[in-house]
Chains A and B, each alone.
Chain A
Amino acid sequence: MTKVGGIKRTAVILTTVTLLMFGFGYALVPLYDVFCEVTGLNGKTGRISNAEASKLVVDNQRFITIQFDSNINGNLAWKLKADQNILKVNPGKFYVATYTVENMINEEIVGQAIPSVSPQIASLYFKKSDCFCFRNQVLKPGEKKKLTVRFEVDKDIPKDVESLTLSYTFFRALKDNKKAS
């Protein structure tokens, strides 16, 4: 038996659900970020606030080896190199590592560094109080620059993690892209 009012209601409800699901697709973006922060998925590293930093306890017994790695994305005409290949660190203590970046061409370029830590699980415990990746980097034609990152490795890092790799990839920053095109 045809229920005319029912058809209208069903159609309205389902259309609403459709729109909500479209919104849900977009909601997945922030949800994913939260999920990554919790699980360490995608290897992005965390920040540490001053308040947290003051509460750190140093574990002098344990050493973790940090490997420093660098990449350039696409054909960005920069050279990026870590000034130290490895660093042995105590959990809970702050260290400063440096990179040298050089603009190889006759053009001002804005770049953005993206960090990645491997193994993934370690990224949860790798925390930075300051990093050149927190902001865009502008390099004048031919400019050479020292970049610093100040970090600590949390003492709760799982026992089987003896070494980790910290990698930075410089991308051409989006703002600069617009200017160029």
Chain B
Amino acid sequence: MSSQTIADHDHHDHKPVGIKRWLFSTNHKDIGTMYLVFALIMFFIGGSMAMVIRAELFQPGLQFVDPQFYNSMVTVHALVMIFGAVMPAGVGLANWMIPIMIGAPDMALPRMNNMSFWILPFAFALLLGTLFIDGGGPAGGWTMYPPLVLQTGKAFPYLIFAVHFLGVSSIMGAINIIATVFNMRAPGMTLMRLPLFVWTWVITAFLLIASMPVLAGAVTMLLTDKYFGTSFFNAAGGGDPVLFQHIFWFFGHPEVYILILPAFGIISQIIPTFARKPLFGYASMVYATASIAILSFFVWAHHMFTVGLPITGELFFMYATMLIAVPTGVKVFNWVATMWKGAMTFEAPMLFAIAFVILFTIGGFSGLMLGITPVDFQYHDTYFVVAHFHYVLLTGAVFALMASAYYWLPKWTGYMYDEKLAKIHFWLSAIASNVLFFPQHFLGLAGMPRRIPDYSVQFADFNMISSLGGFAYGISQLLFVYIVIKCVLGGKKATSQVWEGARGLEWTLSSPPPFHSFTKPPKVTKALMDY
């Protein structure tokens, strides 16, 4: 290390100020913060669309919005939540935590890091802007199936380019994460000592690199089919609309693991901390995550059982899908075994983590049911599916993100959050989300299709219950914002270690960590992680 950098270090923590600090930031913590704030804003934008949906479905009959607008709410809600809320939140956490978890000074490619964040607001400006133009926003579902999506009006090119930008942004993020983990680990931080959050993110990043370009290809084909006379999906020119579904879900199934794997990592950090006991089966956790990721490329057609696949194909995809239950089961058992004979305390992160284990598993159960082809012919495209993926994505991925926010907020801000309010937030969220989504299982089984703005009267009661749960969930998230703001502004000082049972490099740094962390690589020993 040159004397110059040591001298720099003496001045300590001088950082750019004002708007420039954020606009031109190359600091992993600042960029991480921007990602997280952006994700929270998108969570509320997507959430308010969900409120429109639940308000319209509160009673039978059409009260608030027209069917076309309803469809675009359904479409944009999904795109915003997936690409605007859950994925950026995951990338934000990775930015903040991975360098300080592996003992690196920053991310490997800091300028690219800045770019990959700043693409996002522009992409979403394109997408959300379409809601205000003639003909409205995209309304063909986030799955963008042709020929329906080709009927989209002026919003169509905006949709395609927004998806392109989102893809570029997340691929740049993924490259950065892999480059960081592979090249910037502190001495002694071997691969099999990596915290599980880092492991799950590395695997997620590989999934992103392998699947997002395929989506980019698929939407490019849509674009040329609509404007340049190609016929990838146009039967008249020798194409096939079902081909799009194959390409889309080749991306789409890995995509759902992109959303959930970082959540697995988060839960695997939190449960040991509050059980004061090492994670059970570290190696099998890593292998299970990797095998889930690999299997995710061989199950795509389970989203399309009803398109009319040959029976051999249906059987193959059914078996592969059911097989995913095995590594997923291993993870759940390992979490339970980690709690077993621990000395547990139940602060907000732990509460969210436990709720995650239960509710994600319920989502997994309905996933197994959906994987059984002959029965899927009944479940497919009903509210049973809606219930299933909201169990794994809201009470799964989003609960894990909430858990991570409470877990690391003291580290980020230097202050403890208000534990009492956080517990209230937890109980409100946990109860409301179940009131919201559990009845949707019944609705689906009773025969209510998804993506409809109005329904037959026999579905009225459960829809009303579901809507009430939805409103309650939506309102209780405002409490989260209040808790975060309160914590940023001040409170009880957090120690470096924050949680009694916390282990790992990030807890050796002060809370908040210095602007430039680990300019000198720490030495990682086995003892650092031991209980």
Contact = CB atoms under 8 A, between A and B. Distances in A.
Q: Are A and B bound to each other?
A: yes
Interface of A: 1-4, 6-7, 10-11, 14-15, 17-26, 28-29, 32, 36, 39-43, 73, 112, 114, 120-121, 169, 171-174, 177-178
B213 A10 contact: no
Given A7-B183, A10-B179, A178-B229, A39 B313 contact: yes
24 contacts: A1-B187, A1-B521, A6-B182, A10-B108, A11-B175, A15-B175, A18-B212, A21-B213, A21-B214, A24-B213, A25-B213, A25-B247, A26-B217, A29-B221, A29-B232, A32-B246, A36-B240, A39-B312, A42-B242, A73-B235, A114-B235, A121-B310, A174-B229, A178-B229
A163 to B, nearest CB: 18
Contacts of A23: 217
A4 B108 CA distance: 8
A178 B510 CA distance: 66
A172 B210 contact: no
Contacts of A169: 235
A174 B209 contact: no
A32 B243 contact: yes
Given A7-B108, A178-B229, A17 B246 contact: no
Interface of B: 104-105, 108-109, 171, 174-175, 178-179, 182-187, 209-218, 221, 229, 231-232, 234-237, 240, 242-243, 246-247, 250, 308-310, 312-313, 521
Give the residue among B105, B183, B229, B234 with the most A Cβ atoms within 10 A.
B183
Contacts of A6: 179, 182-183
B237 A41 contact: no
Contacts of B216: 22, 25
Contact of B243 (A17, A29, A120, A177): A29
B237 A22 contact: no
A43 B242 CA distance: 12
Contacts of A17: 209-210
Contact of B236 (A2, A7, A41, A171): A171
Given A18-B171, A41-B309, A121-B310, A171 B235 contact: yes
Contact of B183 (A2, A20, A43): A2
A19 B242 contact: no
Nearest to A124: B310
Contacts of A7: 108-109, 179, 183-184
A106 B234 CA distance: 26
Given A2-B183, A17-B210, A24-B213, 5 more contacts: A18-B213, A21-B210, A23-B217, A25-B221, A28-B250
Nearest to A17: B209
Nearest to B236: A171
Nearest to B189: A1
A25 B310 contact: no
A177 B226 CA distance: 12
Contacts of A171: 235-236
Give the residue among A23, A24, A40, A174 with the most B Cβ atoms within 10 A.
A174
Contacts of A4: 183
Given A1-B187, A121-B310, A174 B231 contact: yes
B236 A1 contact: no
A36 to B, nearest CB: 8
A73 B236 contact: yes
B235 A25 contact: no
A11 B109 contact: yes
A41 B183 CA distance: 46
Contact of B178 (A3, A14, A24, A178): A14
Contacts of B178: 10, 14
B235 A28 contact: no
A110 to B, nearest CB: 10
A28 B184 CA distance: 36
B105 A40 contact: no
Contacts of B240: 32, 36, 42
Contacts of A26: 217, 221
Given A14-B178, A14-B179, A18-B209, A2 B104 contact: yes
Contacts of B242: 42
Contact of A1 (B185, B212, B309, B313): B185
10 closest A-B pairs by beta carbon, nearest first, are A25-B217, A171-B236, A21-B213, A22-B213, A6-B183, A25-B214, A10-B179, A3-B183, A7-B108, A14-B175
Contact of B308 (A14, A29, A120, A177): A120
A39 B316 CA distance: 13
A171 B521 CA distance: 66
B186 A1 contact: yes
A18 B169 CA distance: 12
A122 to B, nearest CB: 11
B307 to A, nearest CB: 9
A28 B220 CA distance: 14
B119 to A, nearest CB: 15
Nearest to B246: A32
A28 B213 contact: no
Contact of A3 (B184, B232, B236): B184
Contacts of B521: 1-2
Contacts of B211: 21
Given A2-B104, A28-B250, A22 B217 contact: yes
A118 to B, nearest CB: 8
